[in-house]
Every structure is written in structure tokens, then in C-alpha cells.
Structure 1
Amino acid sequence: MKKAMVLGMGISGKGAKILLEKEGYTVIAVDDNLAMSSQEAVKYVDEIEVFIKSPGVPYTDLVKTVQEKGIKIQDEIEIAYQYMVKYDRKMTIVAVTGTNGKTTTTSKIAELLNFAGKKAAAAGNIGRSFVDVLLSEEAYDYVVLELSSYQLENVYEFRPYISMVTNLTPDHLTRYTDLKDYYDTKFHICQNQEEENSFFLFNIDHEELRKREMLMKGRKISLSQRQEADTCVKDGNILFQGEEIMAVSELSLKGSHNLENSLFIISAGKLLGLDTKMIRDFLIRTEPLEHRMERCFQYGKLQFINDSKGTNIDSAKFALEAYSGCILICGGFDKKVDLNPLADIIVKQVKEVYLIGVIAEKIKTLLLERKYEKEKIHSLGTIENSLKDIKKRFSREDQEVVLLSPATSSFDQFKSFEHRGRVFKELVHKIFG
């Protein structure tokens, strides 16, 4: 009897287990909290033919044992793709990765396709497994996959029709040896593409992307906010290969980061044959996603913005540019990245700062080194303590913006950025409601 092992019983792990069982495998589910322990699972490694590692799981002793045995480590994305090819399942894949913007870009491309009357699903690192889409009775024509670098570590045959790396900025240095390792892993997304039958969307505004042009496979479609490109901004209008799509001012998703996202959305839509009017109508109407600069509460003139998805310094920078002069709540898990750029942004853009999580003291030290006024720094540990202090110090008549944009991940205090964002909104309603 064929045996497989799946390490990690999150969304992708559960999807992999379902698919492998459908293919006749007996699956050993391994999860130190939900199933067999990793320590126990080592005993069964000699019995397995297939090993799937969930993306969030680090390279543990069990994984190293599997590697020593010469068993290929695969991802749920990879085996789902192999299944799709094996059974000739006709579904167009659009694959999205990058440090920032990938969730918005993924979601909105899928929404655009559905708006245009197509059958599309968003999946991957977005709350739904690729397997779930493949096995769905919906018979989708398109799947738009958000892929983290973790999900791209163990793909081999995976080949999308359109792929893109939105941008590259420092992140995840607890996982990778250095930034080069992290950045290069992103380009596994396009490693099997061919110029005659697939496309790579190339953001020429980012230096780290330009450095890696040799890693880009598929026909390159260039994008830029600042210079001539296949998709670009000219005289306040967005053009695709010379055709005027819409005015930048018409976009419902505001800010330079959302303009960047929109260039990807428009490019994908045009390459998939969608009508220009359909794309324009969609981008005029569509709404921002939850936890992404989400206006979540108004207390008199005091406004609250939930940007819990701001899990790195660059994404926080976008939010601070949009809400310059705000009262910022930031901090969380220590990702071992250089916090100096964050301190520089806070000094320049933030009226007062509330620091939370394990990196609070590091940020405070850097701010004091920059002569940021001590009275403007409130290191209170948690979101709840911060909001209670804000309630004491500000009234309905104060025209201020309170922005949660943590600039790091949430794992020191929360399960995910979504959990952090929901808690923030619940606390705002409880304390100010």
C-alpha cells in the first residue's frame, strides 16, 4: 500500500491529505498540536514514498531526516498542479508573489474575472487551498494563487500561465540565510514558464527585481508608475500597450501602493482577454480588503484605521504616507530585520507612537537615538492598553487618526494578522463604542 506523510495540518496540509487519499495513499498526518507528533513520525519515514511539508512549518529534525533518506520534500501547490496535469484539468493559473500587495492583487484579479462573468477562485496563501479549488464542484476556469516564499520553496513542475513578483523588500530573515536567499526563492514562481505560452509581469520600478531579470521566464510584460513600459502611467492615465485604460484618479483603491497593485490587475486582465470597459468599471467600484488600511470606526472626529496586514516596514510606510501625522500603534514579533528604516519613518510621519509586542523596546531605543520626543512614545505592551490610554487622552472633538500598522508579524501575541486586526476592531468598539 502506498504511504505518504503530511507535516502540518493547516489549510494546505489538510488539502494535501485529501488529494493524496483520493490518489490511493494512506496518509500519516503529523502535527505536534493536532495529530501525530514529529518525534513519533520519525519512526515511519522509511515507509513513505511522498512527503508534504506545509509552508509555515520550519525545517525541523523530521524534515532533515526525510531529506537524509533522499525523499523529495513537496508542497501542496506542487502536488495539486501535478494532479491537474495528470487528469488534464483545464484551468488557467495566475500566480502572484512578492513582499507586499500580493493579497490585494490576488483577490482583485479573481474578483475582476468574476465581475467579467468568468468562473474564478482565489487560493493559496489566502485562506483556501489549491486542492480545494481543484476538487470543487464549481468547475472553475481560473485560479489566482497567492504564493508566499515558503510555498515556493518546494515546487518543481508548477507552471502558471501568468506569474508576477509584485515587489521585493526585506522580510522573513528568521527563515532565510540572507535577503538574496529570500528574494531568489520568489522566482521559483516562474522557473518553468516558456516565452511562447506564458507571461511574467515585470515591475521595472524595483531595483531588486531588475537585478533578477535573468531569473524571469515567460514573455516579460513591463510595468511602471514612473517610466515608459507595457503598462504605465502617463499624464495621469494608465496605459496598457498604448491603449488608455483609465485615469489614475478614478481608481477606488487609493495610494501609490494600490496604483502598483492596479497595474498588475490591469495587465493580468488584458492578457486574459477582458474588455477595457469591464476592467475600468471594476476598478472604479471595488473596495479595499479587510485589514488593509480599513477605515473601521469613527469616534466623533477621531478616526480608526485597521492596517493589521502591515506586517513589514515597507507596508507600514505606505500606510504612514497615506495618514501622515497620525497616532500610530506598531510593534510585534521580532523578525530580525533592520528596524532603523522604521524609526526614520516614525520620526518623519508620526505625531505619537504606541509600541506593542516584543520589539517595542528596540523601536523605542532607536527613536530616542533620533531625538524623537520621549513624551510622544508610549510603550504599553498591548493593543488594549494602548487604546485605553488613547481613550483617556483624546476626545470626540480631536481630529486625529489612530492607525494600527504594526510593521511586523503578529505571532508574539496573536495567531495571525487577521486575528490581530479583528481584536483591534473589537477593542475599538468595546472601548470607544
Structure 2
Amino acid sequence: MKKAIVFGAGISGRGSRKTLEKMGYKVFLVDDKIGISSEKGIEILNNDKIGLFIKSPGTPYTHLVERAIELDIEVLDDIELGYRYKISNGIKGKIIATTGTNGKTTVTSKISELLEVAGFKSKVCGNIGFSFSETILENPDLDFYVLEASSYQLENIKQFKADIALVVNLSPDHLSRYRDLDHYYDTKFKIGNNQKENDYFIVNTSCSEVLKRLDEISGTKIFIGTALSNFEEKTYLKEEQIISEDEFILETSLASLKGRHNLENMLFIITVGKILNISTEIIREFLYSTKNLEHRMENCFNYGKVEFVNDSKGTNIDSTKFAVEAFKNPILICGGFDKNLNLAPLEELIKKNVKEVYLIGEISDKIEEGLMKINYPKDRIFNLKYLDSVLKELKFKLKKNEKETVLFSPATSSFDQFKNFEERGRIFKELVKSYFS
């Protein structure tokens, strides 16, 4: 019998195990918390004839992974496994794959929703919370698999190919994982690997790091941008309108997705719709009526004139910058896991735009120190470490009849105190309601 190891028992790992078992493998699920220990996993590698090693995206490159590589065992991820299962079983649904530093969840979710409105069978998967391989396994009759791929999930792809690939944008992130920014950006660009001329790669001409990598694109390039340039963008902004192939699509002021970052997101959504021949009327009505995602610029509670905004999806500095600039002098709650990023842009953003800042997580002391160095007033910095302490403090300070925006946009990952950004956002909303209801 064929044998495989799956390292990591999260959503991706459990999905990989299910797919491998369907493929006839005996699967050893290694996870130091709830599965076989890594130490036992090394014994299995040494003594059993393991044919395949699936590494979950969140797991680091430990001795177990290194040992698999030493033994010339193929190390893959769930995306690659799902693609191979799809091809070997003649599953015909097309893959629309999205990555980028910011906006990829919105773009992925809204593309899938648009496809469903237009009458296609579609599901989101990948980094958005569903194993890619398991989604293909359980839904072989879909028209489209709309995949959100993090850089972690793209590290070990080999044969994977997207019919339509998107890199929304590239900005600094995850330097605790990658040796430098080019390493991180190049890993993101693997989403276009193996494309042919009949596949599409949507190029954001507003992102300089994307433009640096044009020679790496093997699919047909479709250019989009926030302005018309010498790239002759297919979809672009013109004053307060979005135009695609010289056709008016929508008035940006009427779109339900607000904020400068969502203008860029809509360019991708519209362009995918146009590639797939979805009518302008359907696209326009969809973007005039669709809702913001949970945990992304989500107006989650009003306490009199005080507005609480849950932007837990703000997991890097650029994302939080978009959120802060959407409001006038918000009260900002930020901080979390230290990703070894340059915090100077965040500190300058706070100094220029934020009324008060409340700091949480392991990075809080570092942000406070940086703010003090650039003379942000000490009496406007509250380094309280924990969300509960922040909301308790705000309960005593905020007055219902005074207009304020309390923005929870952490600017980094959640792993120091929470399982993921969803849990972090959910707990924020629960705490707000418990203190302010």
C-alpha cells in the first residue's frame, strides 16, 4: 500500500489526509498537539516506505521536513495535491487563483459570489478556510474553484496551474518566514507557474513589484490599473468611474465596497467577470449591492455616536494604512505578533492620522518605543497588552454623545494571542458588546 505523511492537523492537513486516503494512501497524520509526534514521524520516515510528504502551510520547516527532503521524499502542499487529484481524475472545473499581500480575501470571495450570481457553480477554497484538495474531492462538478493562496501555500507547488491567476499587490510582510522581501514576493509569484498562452495572468500596473516580474509571466497578460498608462490597461479608473475595454462599468461612489483599497479590488473582480463573458449589467448590480466581508472594515457596533470598526483582517502595515486613512482621526487599537517588519511606516501613520493608540500583543513595546522616538505624545499612547484591558479602559473614557471611531486594525498577525485573525475579530466584537451593550 502507498504511504504518506501529512504534517499539520489544521484545515489544510485534514483535507489532505482525506484526499490521500481517497487516492489509496495509508496516511500518518503528524501533529505534536493532536496527532503523531514529530519524533515518531521521523521514525516513520526512516523505517516505512513513505512516498509523499504533505506539509501544511502553517507548519515551519522543522527537522521532520528536513529529514523528508534528505530522504528524497517529495514534499508538497495541499494546493499541489489537489491539483494532481483534479488532473488524474479528469475533473474539468477551472481554477481562478488569487494571491497578494492585501485584498486577496475580498477579491477571492467576491469573484466567487459574482460567478454564482451569473449562474455558475463555484466555491472558495485554500487560505480562505477550506482545503483546496478536499474541495475538489467533494465537489467534482463545479465550474470554478476560486482559490485564495498565501505565500506559505505556494512554497511547494510544482505542477499546479491556474486558468486565471491574480497577484492583487505586493508589500512588506512575513519577514519572520522569508530571508528578504524579494524571497517573499517571488514566492507569491509562483501562482503563475506553468501557465500557457490560453491561461490569463491579471497584472496590476499600479504595483511596482508586480511590474518588476513581468518576464516571469508565461500566461497571457491582462493589464489593469488605477489609471490608464502605456500598458493600455483593459480595466482602469477614470475620474470617478471604472472603465473596461472602453465600456463604462460603474460609478465608484455607488459601489458598496468602500475605501481606496477596494477600488483596486474591484478592478480584478470586473476583469475576471469580463474574461468569463459575464454581462456588464450583472457585474454592475453585483458591485452596487454586495456587502463587506466580516473582519474587514466591518462596522460591528454603535455606542451612541461612537462607531466600532472591526478590521482584524488588517494583518500588515499597508492594510492598516488603508483602514486608518478611511477615517478622520480614529482611535486605533493595534499590535500582535512580531513579524520583524520595519515599523517606521506604521509609526508615521499613527503620528499623522490617529487620535489615540491602544497597543496589544508582543509587539506593543516596540511600537511604543518607536512612537516615543518620533515624538508622538506619550499621553496618547496606551500600552495595555490585551484586548480585554483596552475595551475596559475605553468603557470609562468614551461618551455616547461624542462622535468617535474606534478602529481595531492590528497591522500584524494574531498568532501571539489568538489562533487566527477570525478568532481575534470575533473576540473583539464579543468584548465590545459585553462592555458597551
- Return the TM-score normalized by structure 1: 0.98
Match of 2:10 in 1: 10
C-alpha distance in 2 between matches for 1:132 and 1:279: 29
Query: What amino acid is the match of 2:142?
Result: Y
> Quick check: 1:109–1:268 contact (8 Å CA) kept in 2?
yes
> Would you say 1:306 and 2:310 are equivalent positions?
yes
> 1:133 touches 1:140 (CA, 8 Å); kept in 2?
no
1:398 CA displacement? 1.4
CA distance in 1, matches of 2:264, 2:246: 18
Give the AA of the match of 1:54. Answer: S
CA offset digits 1:265-286 (Å, max 9, x no partner): 0001111121110010100000
- Give the aligned partner of residue 205 of structure 1: 206
Provide the residue aligned with 1:273 in structure 2.
277
5+ long unaligned stretches in structure 2? none
Provide the secondary structure at the position in 1 that maps to 2:403: coil
Residue 311 of structure 1: CA displacement? 0.4
Q: CA deviation at 1:137?
A: 4.9
| Structure 1 residues 212-235: Cα deviation after superposition (integer angstroms, max 9, x where no partner) | 111122111111112331110113
Whole-Å separation in 1 of the counterparts to 2:239 and 2:328: 26
Q: Which stretches of structure 1, 4 residues or more, deviate above 6 A after TM superposition?
A: none
Match of 2:414 among 404, 407, 410: 410
Aligned length: 432
Structure 1 letter corresponding to 2:22: K
Structure 2 letter corresponding to 1:25: Y
Deviation at 1:247, TM superposition (A): 1.5
Q: Deviations over 1:141-172 (max 9, x none)?
A: 11100000010001111111100110011111
Aligned to 2:98: 96
Mapping for residues 17-36 of structure 1, pairs under 5 Å: 17-36=17-36
Q: Which residue of 2 aligns with 1:372?
A: 376
SS at match of 1:401: strand
Identity %: 52
| Root mean square deviation of aligned Cα | 1.0
Supply the AA of the counterpart residue of 1:12.
Answer: S
- Cα shift at 1:237: 1.4
Deviations along 1:79-112, whole A, 9 cap, x unmatched? 1111111111110110000000000000000000
Match of 2:44 in 1: 44
Measure, in 2, the Cα distance between the counterparts of 1:404 and 1:162. 33
**Residue of structure 2 equivalent to 1:55:** 57
Counterpart in 1 of 2:431?
427
- 8 Å CA contact 2:91–2:141 kept in 1: the answer is no
Q: Say which of 119, 123, 126 aligns to 2:125.
A: 123
Give 5+ residue unaligned stretches, structure 1.
none
Q: Decide whether aligned partners of structure 1 residues 137 and 85 sit closer, same or farther in structure 2, where only a CA change above 3 A counts.
A: closer
Residue 256 of structure 2 corresponds to 252
CA distance in structure 1 between the partners assigned to 2:278 and 2:428 by the alignment: 38
- Paired residue type of 1:302: V
> How does 1:27-426 map onto structure 2 within 5 Å?
27-46=27-46, 47-137=49-139, 139-195=141-197, 197-228=198-229, 229-426=233-430
User: Aligned with 2:196: secondary structure?
Assistant: coil
Q: What's the offset of the Cα at 1:415?
A: 0.7
Give the 3-state SS of the residue equivalent to 2:138 in structure 1.
coil
Give 1:139 deviation, angstroms.
Answer: 2.2
1:246 Cα deviation from its structure 2 partner:
1.2
